[in-house]
Amino acid sequence: MFAIEVLPTNAVELEYVIQTVANIEATVQPDDAWNQKTLAELLEQDSIRLLIAYDQAKEDSTSYREIVGYCLYQTTFEQAEVLRIGTDPKYQRQGIASQVLNKLHELLQINQVESLLLEVRADNTAAIALYEQQAFSIIHRRKGYYKVPHKPAVDALIMQHTYI
């Protein structure tokens, strides 16, 4: 079972969380990872929040809570956007991203957000399937948006989930 919580405010735990998220980022986003400094700077903004998924099964056997996933998002008035979402590869395919998104939907609805946007690579079929299960729909395609040297460009899909 996994617990989904908002970023802690305790300074020591906060530093651990940000570093762990940066480490997961480096693994799941190798071509475009956001580092600890970038994440810390973003989280200084009032509109940006971080949800963290912890492995509850390991809480009793270790002195720390093992972070297994995260979602960095921004809310501006009635609109929200997923900036980053990721799951530690050791925990992928266990429904963590779905649980994180469910928690995010719950928080956004409480705050009367009307819609949630995200961007995904058109070749990321697993993520697209997850987002479609979460009632996101494709509203736009950015042709050749993702460019990596010596590889063909990949389109970006803009997906939206509406609450009203």
**Catalytic choice (131, 132, 145, 163):** 131
Q: Residue 144: its pLDDT value, please?
A: 95
Q: Is the pLDDT of residue 38 over 80?
A: yes
Q: Residue 9: its pLDDT value, please?
A: 61
For every residue of 9-43, DSSP letters joined together read: --HHHHHHHHHHHHHHHHHH-TTS---HHHHHHHH
Per-residue pLDDT band for 120 (boundaries 50, 70, 90) equals: very high
Per-residue pLDDT band for 64 (boundaries 50, 70, 90) equals: low
**Catalytic choice (13, 119, 145, 163):** 119
Domain residue ranges of the chain, discontinuous segments joined by +: 2-162
Q: Is 73 known to be catalytic?
A: no
Question: Tens digit of pLDDT for each residue in 132-159?
Answer: 999 999 999 999 999 888 989 999 999 9
Q: Residue 65: its pLDDT value, please?
A: 77
Phi, psi of 84 (to 5 degrees): -150, 145
Mean pLDDT to the nearest integer, 41-60 = 86
The pTM of the full predicted model, rounded to 2 decimals, is 0.90
Question: Tens digit of pLDDT for each residue in 73-108?
Answer: 999 999 999 999 999 999 999 999 999 999 999 999
Q: Residue 58: its pLDDT value, please?
A: 61
Q: Residue 119: its pLDDT value, please?
A: 97
Q: Is the pLDDT of residue 1 over 90?
A: no
140-131-155 Cα angle (round to 5):
40
> Tokens 């948006």, residue?
145
* 8 Å CB contact between 73 and 83: yes
Domain 2-162 fold: Aminopeptidase (3.40.630)
CA distance 76 to 73: 10
Question: Tens digit of pLDDT for each residue in 3-29?
Answer: 788 766 666 778 889 999 999 999 998
Q: Residue 10: its pLDDT value, please?
A: 63
Q: Is 119 known to be catalytic?
A: yes
